Structure 1
Amino acid sequence: MTSPKRSARPARPSVAEYLAEAIFSGRYQPGDFVPKEIDLCEQFAINRSAVRSDLRQLVDLGIIARISGHGSKVRDYEEWNILDPTVTAWMTRYASPNPRIQREILAFRLDVEPYVAMMAASRAKALDLVAIETALEGMSGHLHGASAEERQRYSEHDVAFHVAIFKASHNIVWAQLSHILRPSIHLLVETSNDSTADPVASFERHRRVMEAIRTRQPREAFLAAREVLRGTAEALGIEPGDSTLGSWLELSQATD
């Protein structure tokens, strides 16, 4: 006689996930204290060691700091391990309402991606061009889709387009970063694509990047990539702030 199967024990509530959602969405800002351990124990009906374990995860990721006698305080964004896969996953799920995080990601992309596009225009091989063009064709195929699924597919091809350019730089650091940065890129791409007033113009900016890379024009690739990100900033209603972009433009203009 076979014994009855034991039912799977339900997973306990995740305090780390709850606090990550609250922090990344902006309900708790840097400098704010999150709820005390005892309050979290009562709220989630779990013991103190479980709460401390989840808080430790946030501490290890640089998101909160434990202050003896006071509780746990959200650290400044510069202290977060922003490239950790757990953090980027939380960012993708929860950060859309937080303009400061979006601004930080956009500023980083403004510093990096035009330069990467310039490198790709000098180094891309045939297979790289195929990957970039395939992603652009995928965007084209879903450009006029009205459904949420169509828009999601468009954004997925958009992200693939940017990742393919990172890989086409043929620099192992940028290529690896393309995997790490993918959730961050997806966060801005999906949000800006849903917000843009002129998706056709956005697509055309992407096409110009591809053409500059395909025709081996590094400066034009740099400038075209900059325009893509300016369009992203406009769609999000974000002023990205200072970046090293101005220095690169001065350099590129000096070589005309």
Structure 2
Amino acid sequence: MRPSSLSGTTARPDIAESLAEAIFSGRYAPGDLIPRELDLCETYGVSRSTVRSVLQNLVSAGLLVRISGQGTRVRELTQWHMLDPRVTEWMARYAEPNPRFQREIYAFRVAVEPFVAYLAASAATATDLLAIEQAYEGMMRSLETPDHCWEGRSHDDYDVAFHEAIFAATHNVVWTQLSHVLRPTITVLVQRSNQSADELADSMERHRKVMEAIRLRQPARAQACSLAVLERTGQDLGIAEPPADLPSLSPLGGATSDGR
């Protein structure tokens, strides 16, 4: 297992990772008690202070709560600090067996990404367009290889980079920073979307339309095309499609007819 950033310098690196995997995979559901401190000490061969340190870090991440006289329980999903990079990294690695995460992440992306595309079409510079185009080209080139990799990066890597570049093209510090935090959550859906050749071709055409709308500075069209990309993602994941009609909103909240 990978070393955990939560385990500290004195803890064995697999304790936090093992617990995170068990929680995100659903082996320990919200409300469940995790093993006692002494049991964890025996399992991992570490001191009780080491186990307590790891558990406290998981508590600070919102995953666990310690209840006097009862033990340590997994908290409800709504209490998890999902925008904590440590938590989203665990989600990306371990959430595959849990369909609830897929639905929650998908719903969030549907709510956010079309508007981000709208803003990008209004604010993108030549440098931003180049980054979007390079990511798109990487996706296309990777599909031409047997292992879906090009220049050392996978198709999934380029797909995530494409969406990150659109966030960056808004030139809004909040959206740009949020894209870094959301990168693992985007990766979750990208990696879970197993597509046939025809489905990949359709997905790539939808991505191209987003890119073109941003390049041509057509915010409303970029918004609609972004929603179409997510609609394809939902189909590939077997998740209900997003609503067909999404209002085109200006950055100040006013509806527009042409997105300008």
User: How far has the Cα of 1:246 moved from its partner?
Assistant: 7.2
Cα distance in structure 2, aligned partners of 1:148 and 1:165: 23
Task: Give the 3 Å change call, closer, same or farther, for CA 217–149 of structure 1 in structure 2.
Answer: closer
Coordinate RMSD, CA, aligned = 2.5
Check the 8 A contact 1:121/1:214 in 2, yes or no. Answer: yes
Residue 238 of structure 1: aligned partner: 239
Letter in 2 for 1:87: V
Q: CA deviation at 1:146?
A: 3.2
Q: Deviations over 1:129-153 (max 9, x none)?
A: 1111111111110124332656961
- Quote how far apart the aligned CAs of 1:48 are: 1.5
The alignment partner of 2:159 has SS state of helix
The Cα of 1:102 is off from its aligned counterpart by 1.6
* The structure with more radius of gyration: 1
| 1:133-212 map, 5 Å | 133-147=133-147, 149=149, 153-192=154-193, 195-197=194-196, 198-212=199-213
How far did 1:251 drift?
A: 6.2
- Tell me the equivalent position of 2:216: 215
1:249 is paired with a residue of what secondary structure? coil
Q: Is the 8 A contact 2:91 2:184 kept in 1?
A: yes
- Report the counterpart of residue 6 of structure 1 in structure 2: none
Unaligned segments of structure 1, at least 5 residues: 1-9
1:172-222 deviation per Cα after TM superposition (whole angstroms, max 9, x unaligned): 110111111112111211221xx1231111111100100111111111111
Aligned residues: 243
Contact 1:62 1:75 in 2 (8 A): yes
SS at match of 1:169: coil
Change in 2 beyond 3 A, CA 1:133/1:115 = same
| Structure 2: segments with no counterpart, 5+ residues | 1-9
Residue 12 (structure 1) aligns with: 12
Give the share of equivalent positions with the same residue, in percent: 54
Q: Which residue of 2 aligns with 1:3?
A: none
Return structure 1 stretches of 4+ with deviation > 6 angstroms.
250-254
Task: Return the TM-score normalized by structure 2.
Answer: 0.85
After TM superposition, the score normalised by the length of structure 1 is 0.86
**CA 1:209 to 1:13, structure 2 compared with 1: closer, same or farther past 3 Å?**
closer
Shift of 1:84: 1.3
What is the rounded CA distance, in whole Å, between the counterparts of 2:64 and 2:241 in structure 1? 25
* Larger RCO, structure (CA 8 Å, separation 6 or more): 1
**3-state SS, counterpart of residue 54 of structure 2:** helix
Contact 1:25–1:98, Cα closer than 8 Å, also in 2 = yes
Mapped to 2, the partners of 1:232 and 1:153 lie a distance apart of 18
Q: For residue 257 of structure 2, what is the aligned residue in structure 1?
A: 255
Q: Which has the higher helix share?
A: 1
Quickly say closer, same or farther: Cα 1:148–1:220, change in 2 above 3 A: closer
